[in-house]
Amino acid sequence: MKLIKKMVIALFLLWCWSVISINNSSADVDHFPVYPCIESNVKFWVKVYTEEPSNRGIIHDSNDLDIIYEVIDVKKQEEPGAEDFNKKRIRAVKEKYEKMLESFACGRSPTTDAEKRVYGLFGRNPERSVLREARNNIRFQRGQKDRFLPGLIRSGAYLEEMKKILRDYGLPTDLAYLPHVESSFNYEAYSKFGAAGVWQFTRETGKRFLTVDYTLDERRDPISSTHAAARFLKENYETLGSWPLALTAYNHGTAGMVRAKKAKGCYESIFKEYDGQRFKFASRNFYSEFLAARKVAKNYQSYFGQVQLDSPKQTCEYKVPGYAPIHNLAKHVGVDLATIRELNPTLRPPVYTGQKYVPKGYSLRLPGRKDGKAAKQFASIIREDLFVSGQKPSRFYRVRRGDTASEIARLQGVSLKDLIFANQLDKWASIYEGQNLRIPLPGEGTITLAKASKKSSLDGVQVAAAKQSAVDLREAPVVAKGVSKAVKSEETQSVESTERETGALELPAKELPASGEISRELPALEVAALETSEVEPPSSIEPAKDQETKEMIVLKPAEQEFSEPEPALIEQEDTFQTSVAMEMPVIMETEINPAVVTGHLQVEKLIKAKGKTLGVIRVEAEETLGHYAEWLGVSAQEIRRLNGLSFRKGIQIDQSLKVPLEKIGAVEFEEKRYEYHKEVEEDFYAAYRVQGVQLYEIRKGDNIWKLCSMEFDTPFWLVKKYNPSINFNGLMPDQKIRIPVVEAPSES
């Protein structure tokens, strides 16, 4: 009897221990320590989030965040001319303190009150070496109070459900505050380098856990992406063994943090001592930013007073049994498109414009409770004849010299009016060699998201296209020696044309004008091997964060390790020289149409080898062997074997590759390839605008990857689009290239 009692007591104690353990797994205080070495950093980020708005910024020391030189006024990023104004303003202030510190380092004593204040920031009698080093560590940080507060309000709609999801995965629920750092809880957030949604997943990482294609992007859905974030964070924690390291890996990359841990051990040692090539300000501060955001969000009334947070929306889900037009579904369920779009951020703009159907099996969110009654009610009123068995294809035509828009429309069986609308052509129906025009499908509607939403990604694309394509190209000025902006020559203008149904004066397709000097034909440099776990892929997040005038919440991608290699870029010798981008002239760009994808996206020829059909393609920007494998339904290794590529040998821009076309044909492969590039460009132009172009002269040691990611904070595909004749495998000193000046539009 005593033995039974002991067993019962033991089982009870075991049960109590398990309950305590489960509860402790969600008790965040033990998982997220505030180490003494980062206390000043956390304090700094609290100041950034709660005291300074985005039209003010902090000039500070990048190593010691207790050292704040000055808080200055700047223009908000969305204000016209903000980038140029802010660069000059920030540079002038930084130079003031650089000169002051240099004079101290040379032995001069402070004399004015301002000098004494700065000198005193370093304690009594600081060593000259400390002052000289500080001269090189002056950094600007934009305030984020007016961005954090709206994010705080938005978080109310999702926070509790996010915590429940994290709890279900056995994770600390306070991880739900991480989107404050990543996106300010804006599900429309999109970085220049392709990170999307509240958790800022890149496309490559997102596809590991979510559906990301031309029709659906689950990264945009706060709830679906939280499941993905939970899985990803759990992987990081299981690999690294602590939450400070796991969270830093969310920014810096898992493989990078494995190396850091191997080199230095614990988080504190990594923070204080690790000097990895990519472990810069962004990665070093990421955990501190999270701690600060968590502190502010959990105690928001202390910082912002009484704030009414958004309430969760009551929704039900209706699983669509077939492919269907979204406007037909909306009409039959009696819900307006604006509401459907708000509840279904997963559906991409082509669904709302009629280019694509709502895909079969998609769980459409509609107003109503989750008890199932509302969903059944919606299902009962939707007719079966609304659905079709297949998705609409994406058709495109690559423009050749001499083509006209009306001739293309006639050959493709569409009206000129629809072709112009689908591609946002200007009033002359101007087209250029190398453009991939989208061919609208018969009966495709012209529904715009302006009716469905005041702010939509499609609107951004259309507005950007309209602004840039409506400029009179024939009056474009010559902006630099050897770089003519006169897109249409007198010869072209004199071509006899006829007025079409749209009133457009058509001109035959011409080759895009040269961008700077003619590309020199030199042997192409090899791409750095980025496809093994031993080589960490380049990250765009740290440059984006270290960029002095860039936002650190919405406009950055998550700095993560990818399961597939980074897009094909040219990696040259690591002798990058910093340029003075702000002094380059800004010129207006006219011939680039944001609504039209350029590049060689077709299979250039078909060949037979050992009884198998192969296609020959040309590598384009942002493409990887992983992309080809995905589109073709084969392994990347099969493509490697077919082309004699070793595992450590990457691909490069304009390289010819053979691809197997046994599982899918050339047309289907081309469609998937086109949709990928179209998706990337549509998302970008929906979030950013190109206000002009800078002429940059190549210097010795420059390479295009470092210029894009570290100097200009601009994706390579966009630079390539503005320089169609440049051979990026053989850039030469003194060669001129055009760099688009990118700005984020104003947020509503």
Determine which helix (DSSP H) or strand (DSSP E) holds 395, and give its type and residue range: strand 395-398
Give the whole-angstrom CA distance, residue 96 versus residue 91. Answer: 9
Q: Is 182 a catalytic residue?
A: yes
Determine which helix (DSSP H) or strand (DSSP E) holds 225, and give its type and residue range: helix 222-240
Give the whole-angstrom CA distance, residue 345 versus residue 220. Answer: 6
Say which DSSP state 567 is in.
Answer: P
Residue for token digits 């050959």? 411
* Cβ-contact 48, 33 below 8 angstroms: no
Helices 159-168 & 222-240 angle (0-180, nearest 10): 40
Residue 241's CB is within 10 A of a number of other CB atoms, namely 11
Name residues whose C-beta falls within 8 Å of residue 272's C-beta, 6 or more positions apart in sequence: 37
Determine which helix (DSSP H) or strand (DSSP E) holds 142, and give its type and residue range: strand 138-142
Positive or negative torsion for Cα 27, 31, 35, 41: negative
CA separation, residue 146 to residues 52, 203, 421 (Å):
8, 28, 38
Nearest to 388, CA basis, from 441, 457, 458: 441
Give the whole-angstrom CA distance, residue 583 versus residue 592. Answer: 23
* Cβ-contact 502, 426 below 8 angstroms: no
Helices 128-135 & 82-105 angle (0-180, nearest 10): 170
Give the whole-angstrom CA distance, residue 731 versus residue 702. Answer: 8
Strands (E) across 458-541 are located at none
Nearest to 220, CA basis, from 741, 710, 657, 683: 683
Q: What length is written for the chain?
A: 748
Name residues whose C-beta falls within 8 Å of residue 338's C-beta, 6 or more positions apart in sequence: 451, 452, 453, 454
CA 66, distance to chain mean position in Å, is 31
- ∠360-361-365 over CA atoms, to 5°? 110
| The pair of three-digit structure tokens given for residue 27, joined into one six-digit string | 């008790």
Catalytic residue among 182, 620, 671, 681: 182
Which amino acid is located at 579 in the chain? S
| The pair of three-digit structure tokens given for residue 378, joined into one six-digit string | 């919606």
Give the whole-angstrom CA distance, residue 74 versus residue 86. Answer: 6
Give the whole-angstrom CA distance, residue 544 versus residue 699. Answer: 22
Give the whole-angstrom CA distance, residue 747 versus residue 686. Answer: 12
Phi, psi of 729 (to 5 degrees): -80, -10
Instruction: Indicate which residues carry an active-site annotation.
Output: 182
